[in-house]
Amino acid sequence: MGAIVAIVGRPNVGKSTFFNRLIQRREAIVDAVSGVTRDRHYGKSDWNGKEFSLIDTGGYVLGSDDVFEKEIDKQVELAIDEADAIIFMVDVESGVTGMDEDVAKLLRRVDKPVFLAINKVDNAQREADAVEFYALGLGEYYTLSSINGSGTGELLDALVEVLPEAQDTDDDLPRFAVVGRPNAGKSSFINALIGEERYIVTDIAGTTRDSIDTKYNRFGFEFNLVDTAGIRRKAKVKEDLEFYSVMRSVRAIEHCDVCILLLDATRGFDGQVQNIFWLAQRNHKGIVILVNKWDLVEKETNSVRDYEKRIREAMEPFVDVPILFISVLNKQRIFKAIETAVEVCKNRSKKIVTRKLNDIMLPIIENRPPPGYKGKYVKIKFCTQLPTPYPQFAFFCNLPQYVREPYKRFLENQLRKEFDFTGVPMTVFMRKK
């Protein structure tokens, strides 16, 4: 599981520019997950071979200047709670402001590594001006310019030094994460499974604090349950419940094999649930969607069908995902949910023998070859599954650059149909023969 690094600081010091610079480098490989909130605030980066997740707390500030003060406190608290290291960004042009001092006061009490990054230092004069930031009492600082990238290397060198090593759990048990927005019934679901009141379930949204792992061993299934029911509800934290649950989900999703996405039937597959869904999809995790509290929904004749159709439309193009309607309270179809998650987990690690793959796929391709492009025709000669933790397939052909997205999707759909990869995101590559 990768470490989490949070960037904090008041508005307009250049947090987002810095953030974008760090995740862009990986743009080719890792899709920066846009839409976790209004914009890109969560991405992956790596430096010297160490991968970490980056959270930019900047985008969560709404409202006027006096609101900023409170918001910043909350962001810093979130970062302190959730991150493994914190980058505190200030700006040499404005010098030390009152708000910077407030943030520094919070950060001085933290026992996590804090890096003071002074932005917009792009000449010797400003380098000299940076000295005044010693007044913040955070010790050494790093000067950089996030616009042109100078100085970021030194900061990152120091940062990856202190990040915890990715923990490999000893057991090879698959990990199932129960994710979803606050109050969808995640803790109750886990209690119903385990059959003991292991988590305190109350009616306040977000009473569980940390993601807790539980070894589950019943009915012949064995796996680790990663519970993220967790959002600690601070009295004054209302708005950022959203941010909290996304942050918590980020951790759990990166750490699991299958995401069990629980949603409240009365609220539907709304924006935040979709964000969590796309987060799981982009991290190539298996996904099972559980619609909880189905007993509370007014039924018409086609309600299940219509409801499911709406969810699938929102998930396009990745629609090959099991959707189950359950009621945790009445223990309806809970066991079926776990059975399905186990299936999805098997699908995710399924390996298809190359010969069988070619025997089935090549005739299909012959029947429907990729459309010609500029008078050139693509011939696909051979395909194989790559040795990765989730399904990736390489198709070898003469002109890979001419194979368009829709055709790759056609290949993906055929693979799904022939080999059953329900619930699992997959990638299809075109390679030069």
268 is in an annotated binding site: no
Helix (H) or strand (E) holding 70: helix 65-82
58 is in an annotated binding site: yes
* DSSP H helical ranges for 289-402: 303-315, 334-348, 354-367
A 10 A CB-CB count for 418 gives 14
217 is in an annotated binding site: no
186 is in an annotated binding site: yes
Q: Sign of the CA dihedral 366, 368, 369, 372?
A: positive
56 is in an annotated binding site: yes
60 is in an annotated binding site: yes
304 is in an annotated binding site: no
| Residue whose tokens read 């997950």 | 33
DSSP letter assigned to residue 164: P
DSSP letter assigned to residue 202: -
121 is in an annotated binding site: yes
230 is in an annotated binding site: yes
Is residue 156 within 8 Å of residue 206, measured between CB atoms? no
Distance between CA 137 and CA 155 in Å, rounded? 18
153 is in an annotated binding site: no
228 is in an annotated binding site: yes
306 is in an annotated binding site: no
DSSP percent split of the chain into helix, strand, coil, nearest 5: 40, 20, 40
**For residue 79, what are its two tokens?**
């970062």
367 is in an annotated binding site: no
Spatial CA neighbour of 317 closest among 237, 427, 188, 161 = 427
46 is in an annotated binding site: no
Distance between CA 11 and CA 117 in Å, rounded? 14
Is residue 93 within 8 Å of residue 120, measured between CB atoms? yes
Instruction: Give the three-state DSSP class for 264.
Output: strand
286 is in an annotated binding site: no
35 is in an annotated binding site: no
184 is in an annotated binding site: yes
373 is in an annotated binding site: no
122 is in an annotated binding site: yes
224 is in an annotated binding site: no
375 is in an annotated binding site: no
73 is in an annotated binding site: no
Spatial CA neighbour of 427 closest among 284, 232, 266, 220 = 284
147 is in an annotated binding site: no
Residues pairing with 383 in the sheet = 395
Task: State the number of CA atoms in the 13 A half-sphere of 309 facing the CB.
Answer: 5
Q: Which residues contact 416 (CB under 8 A, 6 or more apart)?
A: 320, 422, 426
180 is in an annotated binding site: yes
416 is in an annotated binding site: no
Q: Which amino acid is at 182?
A: P
295 is in an annotated binding site: yes
Instruction: Give the three-state DSSP class for 418.
Output: helix
| Residue whose tokens read 């606050």 | 182
183 is in an annotated binding site: yes
96 is in an annotated binding site: no
157 is in an annotated binding site: no
DSSP letter assigned to residue 255: T
Spatial CA neighbour of 56 closest among 110, 16, 14, 17 = 16
227 is in an annotated binding site: yes
Binding residues: 9-16, 56-60, 119-122, 180-187, 227-231, 292-295
Annotated binding site for GTP: 9-16, 56-60, 119-122, 180-187, 227-231, 292-295
